[in-house]
Amino acid sequence: MVNWNKTLVLGHRGYSAKYPENTLLAFRKAIEAGADGVELDVWLTKDGEVVVIHDDSVDRVSSGTGKVKEMTLEELKSLDFGNGEKILTLEEVFKALPDAIINVELKDIDAVKKTAELIKANNPERILVSSFNIDALREYRKYDAETKLGILIEKEETLAQLPQLIAELKPWSLNPPIDAMAILGVEKTVGALQMAKGAGLRIVLWPLNEELYYANDNLVRLGGLFDVLIVNDVERMISYLRGLGLK
């Protein structure tokens, strides 16, 4: 049984600071290093399979080229995604990490229906579904009213829509970047997080620039206004949280 009521650390695309992102190696190494789970991204293939990859193409992360949605699973499986690792289906991740928390980020609205089906069949109480695409979250809620949802924030305007989105989507969390500290300033960031907490939401932080977790004692300055930290370097964060008495 997953304990959501402690400070959680999730490997961002697995232990991506040291291993090829979104691969089984990166996911297993994140768990071995002490992460509570992993964050990953999903797209739908040409033949209707949900695969784990961040970009809409394979160019950056594999030995091949092409758009994910224009390739079959077999074609994708023929590529090397680093260190001999193969692309994973979402189902393969669920089977390989049966007890871990998994944050599934929806990159592709066409993947929503199949993703919802897979989640319902694979211990959904340990899963958080998130997206920057509000329409993808709306679509997800059509198929699954129960699983935890996270609203990913990349622009300040989304915060203004929060009251409406909370009523509509019944989200579990607000997922802003730690980089908001540098962009909005400490006071404004703390105010936004306090507002979200006051509305009953958890706070899931993620990095554009991971160093901002550690700079200027940013996490300390947030005064405990976070529940989940998504990180590339799992060991560094766990060590840091232990030093703060949070792990």
Neighbouring residues of 36: CB distance < 8 A, sequence distance ≥ 6: 2, 8, 9, 10, 100, 101
Q: Kindly list the structural domains of the chain, giving each domain's residue range(s) and its CATH number in brackets, ordered by start.
A: 8-19+32-41+101-244 (3.20.20.190)
Q: Which helix (H) or strand (E) holds 242?
A: helix 234-244
- Per-chain mean pLDDT for the chain: 97
Whether 177 is a known active-site residue: answer: no
Give start and end residues of each alpha helix (H) in 82-217: 90-96, 112-120, 134-143, 157-160, 162-169, 180-183, 186-198
Q: Which residues pair with 51 in a beta bridge?
A: 43, 89
Query: Using one digit for the tens of pLDDT, what is the confidence trace for 208-237?
Result: 999 999 999 999 999 999 999 999 999 999
Whether 140 is a known active-site residue: answer: no
Q: Kindly name the residue from 54, 107, 148, 202 that is annotated as catalytic.
A: 54
Task: Identify the segments of the chain with pLDDT beneath 70.
Answer: none
Distance CA(178)–CA(19), nearest Å, equals 23
CA–CA distances in Å: residue 126 to residues 4, 5, 102, 104: 9, 12, 7, 11
Q: Kindly name the residue from 12, 28, 29, 114 that is annotated as catalytic.
A: 12
